[in-house]
Each structure stands twice: as structure tokens, then as C-alpha cells.
Structure 1
Amino acid sequence: MKNTLKVMLFAMMAIGMMACGGKEVTQEDLKTAEASLFNADQTVNEAEAPKVADTYCRFVKQHPDDSAAAQWLYRAMEINVFLKDADKSIKLGDQLMKQYPQSEWAPMSLFLLGSYVYDSQLNDTAKAHVAFQRLIDSYPESELVDDAQMSIKYLGLTPEEIMERIMSQTEVEDTVSVATEE
């Protein structure tokens, strides 16, 4: 009877650990995960990338008050953007904005959501606009504000259309500059 009880207790503990994300993630685990993210030729190891992102997320879950938690969450988001997992990217971006709105990673996550997830992956210019505008309104001192404003200006345009607009604007500026000099 005692052996059966011990086996059941051990099984329950093992199930509990798996449900809570497994073992404690340490700084060494983060370094190991980071090292496994890239192949020898510095390309992303796509087979390892989801595991690396999961390690980062588990670290944040286990250590939400760690000074680098926002950075690890952002890195997990970056990996999911690279993997084109829009749903997971949005979830992680929202989590970062909710848990760490004052971190340096918050405006970067909004820009990443706006440009790569909503605009490029999902072709949802309305949500991209919202992400960029939120960055502009919430982080007016961010160095990404100009990029967000420019992104809003060119939302929904093809690369060719963007180049055409930039070239025509440059021509107008050159014409004005020459006229002013005369």
C-alpha cells in the first residue's frame, strides 16, 4: 500500500511539474537556448526556434520581476514573428504591453506588431495603424516615432508604390530647392 501511495504521489508531482512548465529556467538555460537558436552559418535554426521561444516565455512566467523579463518576452515575440506565427506574436506583444508598459521593449513590440505582424503577415492595415498610433501616443519620446509615422503614411502600399512616392517627393523637393537658390 505504501509503495502504491508513493508511486501515485510521484506521478501527481510529475504531472504537476509538466502542467506548470517543467523545471525552473535559469540564466544558464537562457544562454544555452540562445546558443541553440543559430546554426553555424548564423542562420536561424528553425527546428530549435519554437523551443527557444518557449524557454524565454517560461523564464518570464517564473521570474516576472526579473530586470530582463521584458527583454526575454520581446525576444520570444521576435522569434514567433520570424516563424510567422501571428497569433502567438500578438499574444506575446499584448502580454509585454500589459506587464511591462514602461520597458524600453514596449515601443519596439508595438512597432514589430504594426510592421511585421499586422501589415506584412496579416495585411491588416487598420490594426497596423492602431499599433503605430499607440506607439506614437504612448511613447512620444521613442526613437521609433518617426518610423511609425512614416509607416502610417505608407500603409497598404506596395514597395514599388512607396518608392514612386519617395522619388516624386524628392523631385519636388529638388525643384523647390533650385527655385529658392535662384
Structure 2
Amino acid sequence: MFRSISFSAIFTFLLMLTACGPSREKMISRLDEMDKALTASHPADSVKVGELISAYQGFAHKYPKDSLAPLYLFKAAGLCMSFNKSIQALDIYRAIRADYPTWRKAPDCLFLEGFIFENNIKDLAKAKQVYTEFIAQYPNSELRDDAENAIKYLGKPLDEVIREFEAKNAANDTLKTAGK
């Protein structure tokens, strides 16, 4: 009896492995095909964009422990940003940070939340709060300077920002010339 239970358990386990393997691989292959088709189409079809976003999220839902799950979610959020689905992008970036806090792009997700509040939603107070949180949580990030500059220039008209950069560059040129 014990022998038949062990054989049955092993058989069930092997069956599960073979059932899960191709399904995962098929999903990855399908996601790659969908991504290539979307990239090749100009202008992008909004229905296909929505399908790809859902497919990326579906993979992450089905395989949450897979190393590709946070990457696919990140791609989904990027598509959301590109196609003016700001709230959905925010939700996905937050989910990545909550579910994959040690993933290499988790800091970028917080920065991009600030970017969305600043540029898409136009909530400058919330953008400042998120950028400040980003600087506090990730002081060594490559995006730290970008977050600091975003805070510095929040709400300023583009022409004013350009004048400030031109003045700063002129001052730097003067210092370089004086040092020669």
C-alpha cells in the first residue's frame, strides 16, 4: 500500500511539473510575440496595449515567485504610462514595491510614482512627497539627483527652468575661463 501511495505521489508530482513547465514557457513566448507585434505597429493599437498589459499582469499573478514577474509588471506599468493610464501605472508600481521590495528596479518604481504625480496627474504636493520619500529611502540611487532636481523645479514654467540652466552654464563657463 505504501509503495502505491509513493508511486502515486511521485507520478502526481511529475505530472504537475510537466503541466506547469510548458504553460509557463508558452506564456513567455506569447508575451514576447505580443510585445514584438505591438512594437512593430505604428500607431500602437490601444486594444493590443490593453491585452499586453493584462497578459503581463496575468503572468505575474500566475507565477508570482518567478524572476520574470517583477520585470513583466514593470513593463506593464511602462505601457500604462505611455498610454495615459496613470492610475493603473501607479497601482502596478506600488505592487512591485510591495511584492518585490528587493528587486533591482524597485527604487525606480518609487521615482516613477513621483514622476506620474508631477507630469501626468499634476499633483505637485504629492509628487514632492514621493520624491522626498525616494531620496530618504534610496540616498545612493542613480536617480537621486533627478529627484532633487524634480523637487527644485516643481511647478516652475519651462522657460524659467531653461533660463536657470543657461545662467548656471554661463557662470560655469566664466569660472572655467577665469581659471585658465
Taking structure 1 as the reference length, the TM-score comes to 0.77
1:122 is the counterpart of 2:121: yes
Q: Which residue of the partner structure matches residue 108 of structure 1?
A: 108
Cα shift readout 1:18-67 (whole Å, capped 9, x = no counterpart):
xxxxx9772112212212322345x5443311110110001111111111
Using the alignment, how far apart are the partners of 2:65 and 2:160 within structure 1?
45
Give the partner amino acid of 1:145.
Answer: R
Which amino acid in 2 is paired with 1:164?
Answer: R
Please give the residue correspondences for 1:1-182 in structure 2 after superposition, counting only pairs within 5 Å: 26-40=27-41, 44-115=44-115, 117-179=116-178, 181=179
Separation in 2 of the partners of 1:53 and 1:106? 19
Q: Structure 1 unaligned runs (5+)?
A: 1-22
3-state SS of 1:73 partner: helix
Higher RCO by CA contacts (8 Å cutoff, separation 6 or greater): 1
Residue 113 of structure 2: SS of its match in structure 1?
Answer: helix
CA distance in 1, matches of 2:153, 2:51: 35
Q: Distance in 2 between matches of 1:54 and 1:157?
A: 36
TM-superposition CA deviations, 1:58-106 (whole Å, max 9, x none)? 1111111111211111111011111111211111111111111111221
Matches of 1:57 and 1:89, distance apart in 2: 12
Aligned AA (2:27): T
The amino acid of 1:148's aligned partner reads: A
* Superposed CA offset, 1:92-127 (max 9, x none): 111111111111221221222212x11111111111
Does the 8 A contact of 1:57 with 1:72 survive in 2? Answer: yes
Q: Which residue matches 2:10?
A: none
> How many aligned positions are there?
157
Q: Secondary structure at the match of 1:111?
A: helix
- The amino acid that maps onto 2:32 is K
User: Share of identical aligned residues, percent?
Assistant: 25
Q: Offset at 1:177?
A: 4.2
Secondary structure class of the residue paired with 1:30: helix
- Tell me how far apart the structure 1 counterparts of residues 78 and 119 of structure 2 sit (CA, whole Å): 14
Q: Which TM-score applies when normalising by structure 2?
A: 0.77
